[in-house]
Structure 1
Amino acid sequence: MTNKEKSAELVSKWVHVFSCPVCNSPMKVVDLKSLICLNNHTFDFAKQGYVNMMTRSVDSHYDKKLFEARQKIIMESNLYKPLHAWVANVIKEHLKLIKGPVMVFDAGCGEGSHLQRIIAECKNEAITGLGLDISKEGIRMAAGNYEDSIWLVGDLANSPLADHSCYVILNILSPAN
């Protein structure tokens, strides 16, 4: 199974969390290729396993070199280890009250390393990660490195997520309001 198909299957399980960024209607996965809303706004899965849900083009100032350096610091040093452990402990405490699967959303996830570390630290198979960033380069890198989460290119100001769809929202290193 390709990364594109694996991603589409995972999104199919969580399709209820999506809302069309154009018209805010619910979405569905079609033929393991596209996310399509009731009004036929279509967002295709990329071969790398992410979905670009931007409704306009943007010039991100974040490039591949920045994301590679950021990933190296997050994944190869202990700089953020106390933060990841603390956030994971907070999530684990609250999960004691929840039955069933839980979505953890990283708003402005960059290349996905913070989300990946926190989910790994939680050690709970009921958790699925969802990372969103305006930078296509960051999301492409996240999808290439971490296949067990959902990765979206999107705009936080025009979120492709339904209200109240995620149990946890992270915002680490993102300049978003």
Structure 2
Amino acid sequence: MKKIERAQQFVNDHMKLFRCPVCHASLEKIVGTSVICHNHHVIDFNKHGYLHLLNNNGGTEYDRQMFVDRRQLLSAGLFKPIIQKIAADFPKKALRILDVGTGEGTPLMQLAEQRCQQEDTMVGFDIAKAGIQLATQLPFGGFFCIADLRNLPFANDSFGIVMELFSPSDYQEFERVIAPNGELIKIIPNANYLIELRHLLYGQDDRHYHYDNQRVLDLFRQHYPMATVTPVKYRFAVPNGMQRALIGMTPLHWGKGVAKLSEDDLQQITAVTVDISILRAKIS
């Protein structure tokens, strides 16, 4: 099947998951290469195999090269221990999982690999078209779309799990789409996340030299006082030749005072620290 045909099949099989981003009515039927909502708004399937579920063209600073770099490192296993830890605590039953800010989709695919014995329904979305176009190339049964986390194009109570890896949050929207007794999972960086890059790219007096996640953690706990916080920390050996991609995959190199690294500087990056916390909250 072509990618557009697979996308049409997925939406047809899971029509009740979605709602119109314009009027919030349910999606009703597929006609040709479009899906039509109850109030007759028409949304076309892209030839790459996704739906554009934004009310505008969107926009992001993340370009295609950044997502290509990210795929290189994630395919090499940069975040795999995080995905394994998340998957280990999931129930052994079919789940409907939404990945917020999915980017180029590799974490969702790796989660699918960890969950291969289950018949999960997996949806990833991002505001960045470049990321979603790459995500639709991945060889697994997840569905990807362009959408805005402030106006999720999904029905109420439609997912058992909402997860987001280093992405912004809209807790009100997340709670709307999470089914009763579902779970919200948020992954945030800790102080030593990629600290080697911070210290290579910035001087000690620059604000990018240090990182503090306290504000994000406090806000999550404010919304979910019973949330659990699980730290995960490990060293990742950077494969030879991927040093420049490692720099390119993060916004760390965007800072005003960032150092320009030579090839000798890059060769110093033989391993990096992955230091994160997994925040989990049950939604009643």
Report the Cα offset of residue 115 of structure 1.
Answer: 0.6
Counterpart for residue 92 of structure 2? 95
CA–CA distance in structure 2, aligned partners of residues 29 and 49 of structure 1: 17
Q: Does 1:148 align with 2:148?
A: no
What SS does the aligned partner of 2:35 have? Answer: strand
CA–CA distance in structure 2, aligned partners of residues 62 and 29 of structure 1: 33
CA–CA distance in structure 1, aligned partners of residues 97 and 43 of structure 2: 22
| 1:110-157 deviations in Å (ceiling 9; x for gaps) | 010111101111123411210010001100110122451111101010
CA–CA distance in structure 2, aligned partners of residues 111 and 164 of structure 1: 26
CA–CA distance in structure 2, aligned partners of residues 145 and 122 of structure 1: 16
Counterpart for residue 160 of structure 1? 153
Report the Cα offset of residue 7 of structure 1.
Answer: 1.1
CA–CA distance in structure 2, aligned partners of residues 102 and 119 of structure 1: 11
TM-score for both structures, normalised by structure 2 = 0.57
Decide whether the 8 Å contact of 1:5 with 1:32 is kept in 2. no
Report the Cα offset of residue 66 of structure 1.
Answer: 0.5
Decide whether the 8 Å contact of 2:92 with 2:118 is kept in 1. no
| 1:69-92 deviations in Å (ceiling 9; x for gaps) | 111111113x2121111111122x
Counterpart for residue 56 of structure 1? 56
Q: Name structure 2 gaps, 5 residues minimum.
A: 171-284
Counterpart for residue 121 of structure 2? 128
What SS does the aligned partner of 2:99 have? Answer: strand
Counterpart for residue 236 of structure 2? none
Q: Name structure 1 gaps, 5 residues minimum.
A: none
Decide whether the 8 Å contact of 1:11 with 1:29 is kept in 2. no
Counterpart code for 2:92 = L
Equivalent of 1:172 in 147, 154, 165: 165
Question: Across the two proteins, how many residue pairs are aligned to each other?
Answer: 170
What SS does the aligned partner of 1:141 have? Answer: helix
CA RMSD after TM alignment: 1.5
Report the Cα offset of residue 48 of structure 1.
Answer: 1.1
Cα 1:159–1:19, aligned 2, differ >3 Å: closer, same or farther?
A: same
What SS does the aligned partner of 1:167 have? Answer: strand
Higher strand share: 2
TM-score for both structures, normalised by structure 1 = 0.89
Counterpart for residue 4 of structure 1? 4
CA–CA distance in structure 2, aligned partners of residues 21 and 154 of structure 1: 9
Decide whether the 8 Å contact of 2:109 with 2:140 is kept in 1. no
Counterpart for residue 81 of structure 2? 82
Q: Does 1:18 align with 2:18?
A: yes
CA–CA distance in structure 1, aligned partners of residues 118 and 64 of structure 2: 30
Counterpart code for 1:89 = A
What SS does the aligned partner of 2:102 have? Answer: coil
* Larger radius of gyration between Structure 1 and Structure 2: 2
Cα 1:26–1:84, aligned 2, differ >3 Å: closer, same or farther?
A: same
Report the Cα offset of residue 3 of structure 1.
Answer: 1.1
CA–CA distance in structure 2, aligned partners of residues 59 and 132 of structure 1: 14
| 1:21-80 deviations in Å (ceiling 9; x for gaps) | 111111034135222111111111111111111101222111011101111111113x21
